[in-house]
Amino acid sequence: MRVAEAINTDPQQRVLLLTAVNADVMSCMEKKAIGVYTGMSYVDYAKIIARDINGFTSQTASGTSQSVASGRLAYTFDLKGPALSIDTACSSSLVAAHIGTRAVGTRECATAAISICGVNLTLLAYTTAMFQRAGMLAPDGRCKTLDASADGYVRAEGCEIILLAASSDDVTQLSVALGGSAVNQDGRSSSLTAPNGPTQHAVIKSALLDGRFSASDVTSLHLHGTGT
């Protein structure tokens, strides 16, 4: 990537590329119909670039497009499976993982591995200010998940790439197995962004059923706490 193109490319796309290189994506996969499923929500860089329309180049449109985040990975590594960028706010990466797992072993992705990606960079203060005004962020800057004093969440930055395969034969390294997944929506709650307890209970139950597990099989939890 030339300097001019890099300047007009969202840092989230650039971080995804660097993470893919560091993950040594291609050495872990056979080069088959490999899909890319990326969870990515806010695209602050497009607003930053828009401050100077005279600085637009032929790369600005692709460099600031959310859909291109997955397409650029597919282009760089010559991956021929589906390339989807998914935005469901704070659940984007989890939903990307769910959709990706459903593709493994199908005609779209054959039996090859897929790449599940998630990236978030906070580049504009006013995006954070919007969440704060909506009452979603913890005033003290601390996330207190499962605590009675919980009063919001804390924004953070990060990027992760997970290589997922139908079997260990499709990748050279296998470190964890995905037992089951599920996705649903709150439907009508007390407000547009308010959580729905029974619906969230239902999606957890669906994930257990998908993996043929019972609640007693769960030994530890890794979870997040939203501020809605």
Residues 185-208 have a mean pLDDT of 90
Are residue 114 and residue 184 in the same domain, yes or no?
no
Nearest to 168 by CA among 31, 33, 32, 29: 29
The answer to whether the beta carbons of residues 43 and 127 sit under 8 Å apart is no
Quick: pLDDT tens for 176-190.
778 899 999 999 988
Are residue 26 and residue 62 in the same domain, yes or no?
yes
What is the torsion angle, in degrees rounded to the nearest 10, for the CA atoms of residue 114, residue 93, residue 121 and residue 72?
A: 30
Are residue 93 and residue 52 in the same domain, yes or no?
yes
Side-chain-side CA neighbours of residue 228 (13 Å): 17
Written as one string, the DSSP assignment of 28-52 is GB-SSS--EEEE----HHHHHHTT-
The pLDDT confidence band at residue 107, using thresholds 50, 70 and 90, is: low
Any domain includes 131: no
* Mean confidence (pLDDT) of the chain: 85
CATH number for the domain spanning 62: value is 3.40.47.10
Domain count, the chain: 2
Quick: pLDDT tens for 150-159.
888 899 999 9
Share of the chain above pLDDT 70, in %: 86
Are residue 49 and residue 84 in the same domain, yes or no?
yes
Supply 18's token pair: 């660097």
Instruction: Report the DSSP beta bridge partners of residue 36.
Output: 83, 115
Are residue 19 and residue 113 in the same domain, yes or no?
yes
Q: Whole-prediction pTM value?
A: 0.86
In this prediction, residue 112 carries a pLDDT of: 56
Any domain includes 193: yes
Are residue 203 and residue 162 in the same domain, yes or no?
no
In this prediction, residue 158 carries a pLDDT of: 93
Supply 70's token pair: 């997955």
Any domain includes 76: yes
Cα distance between residue 220 and residue 222, in whole Å: 7
DSSP 53: G
Q: Which strands sit side by side in the sheet containing 36-39, from one edge to the other?
A: 83-86, 36-39, 114-120, 158-164
Share of the chain above pLDDT 90, in %: 39
Q: Are strands 114-120 and 36-39 parallel, antiparallel or unpaired?
A: parallel
Are residue 164 and residue 228 in the same domain, yes or no?
no
Are residue 173 and residue 184 in the same domain, yes or no?
no
Are residue 74 and residue 101 in the same domain, yes or no?
yes
In this prediction, residue 144 carries a pLDDT of: 86
> H or E stretch including 160?
strand 158-164
Are residue 226 and residue 161 in the same domain, yes or no?
no
Nearest to 72 by CA among 162, 10, 160, 163: 10
